[in-house]
Amino acid sequence: MPEKIRFASVRPIQSLKLLSQREMASLASAGEEVHQLFRLCALAVLNTGSDVDDARKLYDDYRDFEIEVVPESRGLKLQLYNCPARAFVDGTMIEGIRSHLFSALRDIIFTYHKLVEQHRFDLDSGAGVTDMVFRVLRNAGVVTTDLPPRLVVCWGGHSISRLEYEFSKEVGYQLGLRGFDIATGCGAGAMKGPMKGATIGQAKQANKTGRFVGISEPGIIAAESPNPLVNELVILPDIEKRLEAFVRLAHGVVVFPGGAGTAEELFYLLGVKMDPANSELPLPVILAAPESSAGYFQQIDTFLRSTLGDAVAKHYEIICGDPAAVARSLKKHIKTVREFRMQQQESFSYNWGLAIPDDLQQPFHPTHENMAALQLHRRQPVHRLAAELRRAFSGIVAGNIKEFGVRAVEEQGPYQLRGDPDLVQSLGDLLAAFVEQGRMKLDSSNYKPCFTLVN
């Protein structure tokens, strides 16, 4: 059994310091479902830096872990029982972990009360969803008004090769040398590499105010600990609001190799960029990989062109084997972003002008019924097809990896997808390649698709 701290009491560093007695009581009395969600997220945060890559093993090892929110007249505190000892040094919780712990409390419980109990957000309209995402980010201190455009979002896989990890770190280093901040999904692999590299690059430039923003959602962070380089953590309520937070904060995007989750993010981004309402809005996207992985993005490029048409290629640039070229290209394009937003008198910190279609904002629940209803055909605008493909990848991730999806496929059989036969077949071939390349936590020798094509 792992080493545990039997009891610890901690107070917030900055966030949630000034709360009324009623607000603290509300936090302390959250319902059982929300409490369990916070408990799992807190356990993941406390396990930061562990080599354990299996959420079920983590939950089993710490099944006696418990956490309580205790309101006091001087402010709230958290009481922890049987928690990972790795979160402490000489009996004191590591400061970065303590900060992430209270970020989780702030975003999961506090936002829940605003969302559900106080009905403070309008989630039935696109404008209401965008406003909600902004207010969660503002409450977390992530939206700032005093910085020029310099936040680069980096997407990529959790399970990548050592060469791909080192490449992502070198890209981060080149970005850090040029003064860019980094935002990622806050996990390991291609989410950690850019932050690690940028830390060194910024240090060489004597930049002590570098930002390393981790953007997650409860279903992800509860199963995957944030990497220790994140110094601003924010947890959005679901995957769609998390993705909207990324694109509204981003001044540029780099996509590294990854699996189905990375493909889902890429199709979300393309669904936004290919919407005619966004035709004039600059948002640079670079697909970047070491030379040894150039075939990965050749395969992605072929899939994108075959499904969305050759015109999709104008929305991204592929750079392989040259980290400095990635940074130089972003520097040039982000200058254009800055000039455009100045001309439009648009905010540098939150891209309000970006149009995000309703089908990319509303949560998609990958039930068998919803997967069968996907419209995977080319007889629709390309940005709508991109949104449907993003949902398909979301369901495939659930059916292959997430517990509820795996269980649903076991009980009801594979998802049934309808659409153009060559498109659905290409989707299956791409996913099989991800499995074969070790980009998903699946055994390639026993891999069976979680969906089947229905004519």
d(C-alpha 355, C-alpha 273), whole Å: 9
Considering the domain architecture, whether residues 227 and 373 belong to the same structural domain is answered as no
Question: What are the distances in angstroms from CA 56 to CA 32, 36, 203, 358?
Answer: 20, 15, 38, 34
Amino acid at 58: L
Considering the domain architecture, whether residues 249 and 217 belong to the same structural domain is answered as yes
Question: What's the half-sphere exposure (Cβ side, CA atoms, 13 Å) at 324?
Answer: 0
d(C-alpha 406, C-alpha 259), whole Å: 17
Considering the domain architecture, whether residues 310 and 386 belong to the same structural domain is answered as no
- Please list the ranges in the chain whose pLDDT falls under 70: 14-24, 26-30, 51-55, 74, 113-119, 222-223, 441-445, 455
Does residue 118 form part of some domain?
no
Last residue of a domain, one of 312, 343, 374: 343
Does residue 113 form part of some domain?
no
Considering the domain architecture, whether residues 235 and 139 belong to the same structural domain is answered as yes
Nearest to 423 by CA among 221, 204, 267, 242: 267
Last residue of a domain, one of 293, 312, 343: 343
Does residue 128 form part of some domain?
no
pLDDT at residue 448, rounded to an integer = 75
Considering the domain architecture, whether residues 319 and 370 belong to the same structural domain is answered as no
With a threshold of 0.85, does the pTM exceed it? Answer: yes
Does residue 106 form part of some domain?
no
pLDDT at residue 15, rounded to an integer = 57
Domain count, the chain: 3
Considering the domain architecture, whether residues 293 and 399 belong to the same structural domain is answered as no
- DSSP-derived letter for residue 109 is I
CB atoms within 10 A of CB 59: 16
Considering the domain architecture, whether residues 365 and 336 belong to the same structural domain is answered as no
Considering the domain architecture, whether residues 338 and 368 belong to the same structural domain is answered as no
Strand 66-70 with 77-84, pairing: antiparallel
Considering the domain architecture, whether residues 369 and 304 belong to the same structural domain is answered as no
Last residue of a domain, one of 41, 74, 95: 95
Q: What is the CATH number of the domain that holds 72?
A: 3.30.1850.10
d(C-alpha 186, C-alpha 169), whole Å: 14
Q: What is the CATH number of the domain that holds 239?
A: 3.40.50.450
Does residue 349 form part of some domain?
no
- For 315, phi then psi, to 5°, come to -95, 0
Considering the domain architecture, whether residues 337 and 370 belong to the same structural domain is answered as no
Does residue 38 form part of some domain?
yes
As a whole number of Å, the CA-based R_g of the chain is 22
Report yes or no: 267 and 235 within 8 Å, Cβ to Cβ: no
pLDDT at residue 313, rounded to an integer = 95
Report yes or no: 215 and 241 within 8 Å, Cβ to Cβ: no
- Return the SS3 of 357: coil
pLDDT at residue 449, rounded to an integer = 77
- Each residue of 326-358: pLDDT tens digit? 999 999 999 999 999 999 988 999 999 999 988
DSSP characters over 74-93: T--EEEEEEEEGGGEETTEE
Nearest to 285 by CA among 269, 297, 268, 301: 269
d(C-alpha 403, C-alpha 138), whole Å: 32
Distance spanning both ends of the chain, measured CA to CA: 51
pLDDT at residue 23, rounded to an integer = 65
Does residue 111 form part of some domain?
no
Does residue 185 form part of some domain?
yes
The domain in which residue 425 lies consists of 358-453
Considering the domain architecture, whether residues 300 and 210 belong to the same structural domain is answered as yes
Considering the domain architecture, whether residues 399 and 444 belong to the same structural domain is answered as yes
